[in-house]
C-alpha cells in the first residue's frame, strides 16, 4: 500500500460523529423553543427592547416618535431627558427663568378703590390696575389670562424652565403694574410676558403683540431691553399665528401683529426682555368663540411656549 491511500473511518468514529450532530440539533431546537415561549420576537417600532421598560426608553429618547404637540413624549418628558450623557435636549429651557404676568385679577372688581390709585410708570402716573374686559357672555379676561398662563407654565416647566407668576389668583387684587414689572426684574427673568385679551369693537379681530418703546424718564429706562424685546415679540407673533391659526390684528399693527407703546408700566419699568400679547378680541363673537374654547386656549399656551423657547434657544 502506498502512503496516499485512503481508508473508511472505523465504525466507532462514525458513531461518535453521529451522536455529536444529533446533540447540536437538539440543543439548537431547544433554545429556539425557549426563545419563542418567552415572547422572543424582535421589538417593533415604539416598543421597548427586552429588559427595558417604556419609561427607560422614553428617558433615553429611544421610544417611538408619537410625541405630544408640545414636543414631549406625551407624559411630559422631553426626549433625551434623563439619558445622563446626551446633555440638555434640543429646545431645553433648563437654567432659564420665565416671568408670566396673567393680566388683571379675578378679584379686582371687588377692590375698585385700591386698583384706582395712581402709581408711577416712569413717564406718567397711571392706575394701579384695571378689571379687564369680558366677552358678551361675561367670560372675564382675568379668567382667560390665568387659564392660559397656567397652561403655558406647565409646558414651559416640562421643558425645564423656572416659571415665576406675578399672581395666580391668590391675591385680593392686582398687583399694581409697577409691582408686576418688579417681580420679573427681581427674578432676573430671561424673558417676561404679560398675557391679555383685548376689548375692542365687534369686527375687530386677531391677536397682536405689544413691544416696549424706548422710554428714559424717571425710574423707567428701556434702552437695554428694546432690541431683545422686539426679537421676543416677533418670534412670539410668528409662533402664535402658526400654532393657533389666528391672524394678526386687523385693527392694530397694520397687519404685522406688532404694536409699540410707551404708556404701559409693565413694559416701561421692566429691566428684562418683555412683551405683552393680546390673544384676541373678547368683544368680537368669532374671536370670543376661540377665547372661550379650552382646546384653543391650549393651542394659545403652546404658541406662547414655542415663541419663548425660540427666543431663549436661538
CA pair distance 193, 103, nearest whole angstrom: 10
- In sequence order, which residues have a C-beta less than 8 Å from that of residue 146 and are 6 or more positions away? 102, 106, 168, 169
* Cα 150 to Cα 139: distance, rounded to the nearest angstrom: 17
Catalytic residue selected from 57, 179, 278, 306: 278
Is 57 an annotated catalytic residue?
A: no
- Cell numbers given for 196: 391679555
Three-state SS letters, the chain: CCCCCCCCCCHHHHHHHHHHHHHHHHHHHHHHHHHHHCCCCCCCCCCCCCCCCHHHHHHHCCCCCCCCCCCCCCCCCCCCCCCCCCCCCCCCCCCCEEEEEECCCCCHHHCHHHHHCEEECCCCEEECCCCCCECCCCCEHHHHHHHHHHHHHHHHHHCCCEEEECCCCCCCCCCCHHHHHHHHHHCCCCEEEEEEEECCCCCCCCEEEEEECCCEECCEECCCCHHHHHHHHHHHHHHHHHHHCCCECCCCCCCCCEEEECCCHHHHCCCCCEEEEEEEECCCHHHHHHHCCHHHHHHHHHHHHHHHHHHHHC
CA separation, residue 286 to residues 255, 283, 302 (Å) = 18, 9, 21
Place of cell 404685522: 256
- For the annotated catalytic residues, the residue numbers are 278
Amino acid at each position: 500500500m502506498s502512503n496516499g491511500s485512503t481508508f473508511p473511518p472505523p465504525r466507532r468514529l462514525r458513531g461518535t460523529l453521529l451522536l455529536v450532530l444529533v446533540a447540536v440539533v437538539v440543543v439548537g431546537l431547544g433554545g429556539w423553543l425557549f426563545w419563542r415561549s418567552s415572547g422572543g420576537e424582535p421589538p417593533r417600532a415604539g416598543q421597548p427592547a427586552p429588559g427595558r421598560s417604556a419609561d427607560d426608553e422614553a428617558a433615553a429618547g429611544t421610544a417611538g416618535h408619537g410625541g405630544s404637540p408640545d414636543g414631549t413624549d406625551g407624559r411630559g418628558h422631553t426626549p433625551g431627558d434623563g439619558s445622563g450623557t446626551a446633555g440638555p435636549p434640543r429646545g431645553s429651557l433648563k437654567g432659564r427663568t420665565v416671568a408670566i404676568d396673567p393680566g388683571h385679577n379675578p378679584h379686582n372688581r371687588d377692590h375698585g378703590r385700591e386698583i384706582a390709585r395712581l402709581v408711577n410708570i416712569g413717564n406718567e402716573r397711571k392706575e394701579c390696575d384695571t378689571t379687564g374686559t369680558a366677552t358678551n357672555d361675561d367670560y372675564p379676561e382675568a379668567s382667560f389670562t390665568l387659564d392660559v398662563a397656567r397652561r403655558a407654565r406647565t409646558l414651559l416647566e416640562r421643558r425645564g424652565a423656572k416659571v415665576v407668576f406675578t399672581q395666580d389668583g391668590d391675591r385680593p387684587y392686582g398687583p399694581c403694574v409697577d409691582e408686576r414689572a418688579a417681580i420679573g426684574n427681581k427674578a432676573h427673568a430671561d424673558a417676561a410676558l404679560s398675557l391679555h385679551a383685548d376689548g375692542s369693537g365687534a369686527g375687530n379681530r386677531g391677536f397682536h403683540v405689544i413691544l416696549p418703546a424706548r422710554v428714559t424718564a424717571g425710574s423707567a429706562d428701556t434702552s437695554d431691553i428694546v432690541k431683545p424685546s422686539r426679537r421676543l415679540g416677533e418670534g412670539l407673533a410668528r409662533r402664535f399665528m402658526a400654532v393657533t391659526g389666528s391672524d394678526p390684528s386687523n385693527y392694530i399693527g397694520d397687519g404685522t401683529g406688532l404694536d409699540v407703546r410707551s404708556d404701559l408700566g409693565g413694559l416701561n419699568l421692566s429691566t428684562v426682555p418683555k412683551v405683552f400679547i393680546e390673544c384676541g378680541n373678547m368683544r368680537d363673537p368669532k374671536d370670543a368663540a376661540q377665547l372661550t374654547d379650552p382646546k384653543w386656549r391650549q393651542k394659545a399656551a403652546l404658541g406662547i411656549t414655542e415663541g419663548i423657547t425660540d427666543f431663549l434657544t436661538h
